[in-house]
Structure 1
């Protein structure tokens, strides 16, 4: 029997909330899913479907995200780590399986570095291990449009910075993903006054990716055409984790969770249950529509 509950918590004076979905007796530790800056707790239905039969699925609107209160002055990352720890305490579980995508990977990795004993397994997708000066400058240009009230241009510029715009590379559901990201950004900044500030903090306040990690099995994955942080840089980051695997997913970019959502959810379910990734659907290329340009690179790689 499915049971869903949303609980509100407070970190300092900042209110936030998390959602717990239970679909039956769990066979592994709960899975906590952390997404991008404005990915709310209700935006992971495919993870619910794939992971729900195996574990309690937990999603969250952490401080500064979606329905949560805006971030106070000062560093945002320590507050996020406190909020994550409070969720685990409120669940009354010693540890969880942790899935982080994009900015959520920032938070998941930083939390695990500080509290490795509270993480059973760690899956990180689209890790922003390196953000260039040019990317930061592009965001500042987008913010200037927002300051002038031009939400449409702001959303288009940010979407372009997060997705691969090279038409010579085949991206599954490219147009759908671009429209979704653009419209979601526009809707969010119109209805959440702290959305732009949270996005800026995500770029300017960086997690330290140089320290390495031991004691927690980890999976790092990304789209083969990720333009936020290149697959090569993400592979190098995965190499700093003692017990880790790295996987690129064909026909996708940074927003692989939109372009191949069910395959990503299947990958997470396999990893968290210790099953083989060798025959995972995400390793196969997506059938191309007639006339599509072939991808210039080889298929998925793993190390």
Structure 2
């Protein structure tokens, strides 16, 4: 039996796929499969650290949902309903009663929607970089980037989005800031040159907001944020965690919205602990957050190489 299986599916005529990496530990898996739902510009192949941390305990499922990665483009109109059906199609195809869900950034909204609609199908949920609130400034910056892309200015687009999503304010310490900026910029540039529906994905992620309302669902949930998240501040994400009755809220020190890149091992370890019913207290990413701190704000890309 192969350790990796890629399955192709269709929802409302749109092709998409998922990748199943079977657990590599001795004996049976220790927890339900983990379904990973990434950001609007992330595909199934970018989760190596998470796979390494979770692989000894569970099957890991990553996705190219419609409009993301190598999947087909989304049709005109609202997309969250279609994406929700796509996720349910993956669960049906897997044939398992329940899964753990790891949702990051745009994927956190999709994961939260799955928990709200089908709590009986979700054993535990980890939500990171939750875009509960997107400022008007961030929205304008994103739409400016989309216009750069439409004019064929791929490099300017990549620089603009990277500066928008990372905290480049030198007064705030972010571990591996320069490395993260180069990686994100390079990945965006590659996507800009190869994905014909990238601009649509950017616009949808900024303008089609997920429904983050709703109370406790009975699904154990952990929410985590980068300390200097520039999309939605850590304090506002903490308020979201309180509102939904999350079991834990944690901040990862010295990181921004790209916490899963800047502190990849730590966030992967955090998810592994939670999905195997171990306390996150031993994870190296605990820091108290003020109730309503000032957001980190957008940084200029100058000087970051």
TM-score, normalised with respect to structure 1: 0.92
CA distance in 1 between partners of 2:84 and 2:147 (Å): 30
Query: In structure 2, do the counterparts of structure 1 residues 164 and 243 end up closer, same or farther at CA, with 3 Å as the change threshold?
Result: closer
Tell me how far 1:188 sits from its aligned partner. Answer: 0.4
Give aligned pairs, total. 288
Q: For structure 1, which runs of at least 5 residues remain unmatched after alignment?
A: 284-298
Residue 259, structure 1, aligned to residue 262, structure 2: yes
Tell me how far 1:210 sits from its aligned partner. Answer: 2.4
Q: Structure 2 residue aligned with 1:66, among 66, 69, 87? A: 69
Q: Structure 2 residue aligned with 1:48, among 51, 65, 73? A: 51
Tell me how far 1:242 sits from its aligned partner. Answer: 2.3
Deviation track 1:274-298 (CA, whole Å, cap 9, x = no partner) reads 1111111233xxxxxxxxxxxxxxx
Deviation track 1:102-135 (CA, whole Å, cap 9, x = no partner) reads 0110110111111111110010000000001111
- Preserved CA contact (<8 Å) 1:214 1:243: no
- Preserved CA contact (<8 Å) 1:126 1:229: yes
Query: In structure 2, do the counterparts of structure 1 residues 135 and 39 end up closer, same or farther at CA, with 3 Å as the change threshold?
Result: same
RMSD: 1.5
Greater shift, 1-10 or 189-198, is seen at 1-10
Deviation track 1:231-256 (CA, whole Å, cap 9, x = no partner) reads 11100000112242100110101100
Residue 32, structure 1, aligned to residue 35, structure 2: yes
SS of aligned partner of 1:239: helix
Query: In structure 2, do the counterparts of structure 1 residues 215 and 103 end up closer, same or farther at CA, with 3 Å as the change threshold?
Result: same
Tell me how far 1:98 sits from its aligned partner. Answer: 0.2
In the TM superposition, what are the counterparts of 1:171-186 in structure 2 within 5 Å?
171-186=174-189
SS of aligned partner of 1:5: strand
Residue 161, structure 1, aligned to residue 143, structure 2: no
- Preserved CA contact (<8 Å) 2:32 2:123: yes
- Preserved CA contact (<8 Å) 2:45 2:62: yes
Tell me how far 1:302 sits from its aligned partner. Answer: 11
- Preserved CA contact (<8 Å) 1:2 1:23: no
- Preserved CA contact (<8 Å) 1:30 1:57: yes
Q: Structure 1 residue aligned with 2:213, among 210, 221, 225? A: 210
Q: 2:119 maps to what in 1?
A: 116
- Preserved CA contact (<8 Å) 1:35 1:104: yes
Residue 143, structure 1, aligned to residue 146, structure 2: yes
Deviation track 1:45-83 (CA, whole Å, cap 9, x = no partner) reads 111111011110000000100100000112111111101
Q: For structure 2, which runs of at least 5 residues remain unmatched after alignment?
A: 292-305
TM-score, normalised with respect to structure 2: 0.91
Query: In structure 2, do the counterparts of structure 1 residues 249 and 302 end up closer, same or farther at CA, with 3 Å as the change threshold?
Result: farther
Q: 2:294 maps to what in 1?
A: none
SS of aligned partner of 1:278: helix
Q: 2:241 maps to what in 1?
A: 238
Q: 1:16 maps to what in 2?
A: 16
CA distance in 1 between partners of 2:118 and 2:290 (Å): 27
Query: In structure 2, do the counterparts of structure 1 residues 124 and 38 end up closer, same or farther at CA, with 3 Å as the change threshold?
Result: same
Q: Structure 2 residue aligned with 1:84, among 87, 96, 99? A: 87
Greater shift, 183-192 or 236-245, is seen at 236-245
